[in-house]
Amino acid sequence: MELPARCFSWRQFPVLLLWVNGLMTLGYAGAYRQTSLCNESLMLEKLPACGKSFEELMKKVDYKKWCNLTEFIMYYDNFTQCTEHEANKASCFWPNPLAEGFITGVHKQFFSNCTSEKVHWEDPPDEILITLILIPVTLTCAMITLVVWCSKRSDIL
């Protein structure tokens, strides 16, 4: 009885690996290569629609809560996805300087009053400070003493 012809031999395996590597290098393995030029005017024309829809959604949020991200995170996510989508439709990368400028303008419109409060740092009381300084100094001196003592008594250890 005759064995069926094999479709693949182990000698062809390196050739197959080179072929797959070539496909991946050329971008045929699922990678998207942008070949067209960015249409900046189209992108700048479409981005205000994203800002307008974000503005409409932000009207639902009390303006006193505009600095609390948890109140509008979904609206902001929709806004960023919209700007990314419009930039991609115009064959532009996202983020790009023009889109960032637009997003910065929206931030100035809605979040200009959201300043972070600076934390005022102050030293702990002297008793605690002295303790925090003396403990590592004492431990360091004790470890140095122990190492020197052990090195002089190496015959016993």
- The answer on pLDDT for 26 being more than 80 is no
Question: Is residue 98 included in any domain, yes or no?
Answer: yes
More confident residue, 24 or 88: 88
User: What is the per-residue pLDDT for 121?
Assistant: 83
Question: Is residue 49 included in any domain, yes or no?
Answer: yes
Question: Is residue 22 included in any domain, yes or no?
Answer: no
User: For the domain that residue 102 is a member of, what is the CATH number?
Assistant: 1.10.150.510
Measured in whole angstroms, the distance separating CA 83 from the mean position of its chain's CA atoms is 18
- In the structure encoding, which two tokens stand for residue 37, read together? 């030029």
Taking only the tens place, the pLDDT of each residue in 135-145 is: 999 999 999 99
SS3 60: coil
- In the structure encoding, which two tokens stand for residue 128, read together? 């605690």
- The answer on pLDDT for 23 being more than 70 is no
Question: Is residue 89 included in any domain, yes or no?
Answer: yes
Instruction: Answer yes or no: pTM beyond 0.85.
Output: no
- Domain holding 100, by residue range, is 36-114
Question: CA–CA separation, 77 vs 95, rounded Å?
Answer: 14
Q: What's the rounded mean pLDDT across residues 37-53?
A: 93
Total number of domains constituting the chain: 1
